[in-house]
Chain A
Amino acid sequence: MNIVKTSKIALRALNRNKMRSFLTALGIIIGVGAVIAMVSIGQGARMEVEERFESMGTNLLTVRPGSRSYRGRSGGGGTYTNLKEADAQAILDSCDAVEYVSPSVNGRAQIVYQNKNWNTSIYGVGDNYPEIRNWPVEEGTFFTPSQVRSTQKVAVLGSEVTENLFEGADPIGQVIRINKNPFRVLGVLESKGESGGFFNRDDMIAVPYTTAQKRLLGIDHIQSIDVSAVSADRTNEARAQIEELLRIRHKLAPGAEDDFNVRDMADIAESASEATQILTILLGGIASISLLVGGIGIMNIMLVSVTERIREIGIRMSVGAKEKDILLQFLTEAIVLSVLGGFLGVVLGVGSSRLISHFAGMKTLVSLGAIVLAFVFSGSVGIFFGFYPARKASKLDPIEALRYE
């Protein structure tokens, strides 16, 4: 008996029980659909992150306190206080591969303008921030070196904040309150656009880092230093110069571990996409569980189906079906169900990830790999969970099977 004949027998049997076949396949449909949709969300987030880092420019370096470590990274500079304003100044003064330097501190704060409230990220940065981050001011001006030096309470708003607080009114020259301190608005940064639904890059306010340190955060260290190299091909040189300088300034003995780390955009992009990769695996893993449950559903139905069709199996055996024929018939039924379910699941998954990006505004990326993987996986689920019932069917004794009521 060949595959074509077996498939024909299996299809006829499934066709005789359309409703049951559909419900069985539904488990696989949902499973595969969920895997594809979830993985596409994860992949979309990853693509988004990578694009974002590319747009920041390739000659950007970030100096953070704490030793260099990718996976055990301690989530930013908050826990270290050994990076000072003077370090930033020294980098600018003595590293010739460095063009701009911007010390940086971060926090969150409540913003009030008239009767409107908004909670957002506060970036305390230097006056070169727009140049370093490749992020121009759209309206008004950025703060000047002297405003930074004299810790003035001035702010430049991200477009999202502007929209929420001013609702179309001109913000330039207005006074907003950040944690109750009045700040004069100097300008508005260009919109960077939505970023994958997780966080919005335009939802921020830039203030002089000196002001942020003293008026908002009450600290005298800085959390990181943004540095731009003179050109993209001199970033490695700049990095070496910074590392050498800071080792001297921090009085590190030869052989001692750095108490800071310098990372370029490629490093940061890598660890960020590592994070989204974990997200992808997590989402895919959760969705895979539903695929597994779908597989168990197939096994359940196939077992019921075998019991229900013991007579049929007896008849087939009496007219000459061999063990292998019966095994193949039931196995094929299971595989047809799961592959058909897999196909419909791909359609469902692609469709729902389109819907997610359309309605939830999240970027999704359906990769061919995910489709192939889900398909192969659903096929294997069919083989794996179909095998036991099929084997049970093939081991029946024809005499008893024929007598079965």
Chain B
Amino acid sequence: MENNNLIHLDNVERIYTVGETQVRALKGISHDIQKGDLMAIMGPSGSGKSTLMNIIGCLDRPTSGVYLLEGQEVSKMNKNQLAHIRNIRIGFVFQNFNLLARTTALENTELPLLYSDVSSKKAREMAMESLAQVGLEGREFHKTNQLSGGEMQRVAIARALVNSPSLLLADEPTGNLDTKTGNDIMAVLKKLNRDKNITIVLVTHDPEVAEAAEKTIFLRDGEIERIEINGNGKQ
């Protein structure tokens, strides 16, 4: 049987200790995400969606529970091992783009490759290719302050894609953009999911953004409240 599971979460808990009080940000999340899924995580502030995204994105470790990424147990890894997983398996797209200031689009896109074994020549080729994928040909040598918000988010997507990750995590990717640009960015993400079969997890509280996903997980108080399957997913 072919295992198509990209992410397997089993009773994942995350407890923060602030002073003497303990905050249970996630109270036992169990969920599987398949390869090629386009999924959204929704929920009000404080529902634990950022915590869940940090754990899925290997920026954080669960306090208890099991997290398998492509069959690999990552919940027990140390910081350096997690950094390596982020480098080769995960791409991030943030609300505020998080690009390096005064640095060209190309250099930003190359960034993950600096921390892998790719030669600088090869890195340049891969970054160019990645930028082309998000429609930024000809803008490679523009610095970030010469780019519009939409373009900056495209650079961020190109950077997330450059290492051909298994998973693309987008945290409010349209939050800092106007509606039209936001729609363009969503179109880019949907196209990547459809054409390249890239697994995408969106974290948002914008229902319109969540509509693009095939499936939406609603979180409340650190638990999965409900899961909705949208009609407009791919066939």
Which A residues lie at the B interface, using CB under 8 A? 1, 5, 8-9, 12, 16, 311-312, 314-325, 398-399, 402
Contact = CB atoms under 8 A, between A and B. Distances in A.
B67 interface: no
A399 B54 contact: yes
Q: Which 3 A-B pairs have the closest CB atoms?
A: A320-B87, A319-B112, A322-B83
B59 A318 contact: yes
Contacts of A312: 100-101
Contacts of A323: 79-80, 83
A402 B99 CA distance: 11
Contacts of A319: 86-87, 92, 111-112, 115, 159
Contact of B114 (A5, A324, A402): A5
B98 A318 contact: yes
Given A16-B102, A398-B59, A402-B94, A320 B115 contact: yes
A75 to B, nearest CB: 64
A324 B79 CA distance: 11
Interface in B67-114: 79-80, 83-84, 86-88, 92, 94, 98-103, 107, 111-112, 114
Contacts of A322: 79-80, 83-84, 115
A319 B107 CA distance: 13
B63 interface: no
A177 B112 CA distance: 88
Interface of B: 54, 57, 59-60, 79-80, 83-84, 86-88, 92, 94, 98-103, 107, 111-112, 114-116, 120, 159, 163
Contacts, number: 65
B115 A325 contact: yes
Contacts of A1: 114-115
A320 B163 CA distance: 11
Contacts of A316: 111, 115
A315 B115 CA distance: 12
A325 B92 CA distance: 19
Given A1-B115, A314-B98, A320-B84, 10 more contacts: A311-B98, A312-B100, A312-B101, A315-B100, A316-B115, A319-B159, A320-B83, A320-B88, A322-B80, A322-B115
Contacts of B88: 320
A8 B124 CA distance: 14
Contacts of B99: 315
B5 to A, nearest CB: 23
B98 A5 contact: no
A320 to B, nearest CB: 2
Nearest to A317: B83
Contacts of B57: 318
Contacts of A5: 114, 120
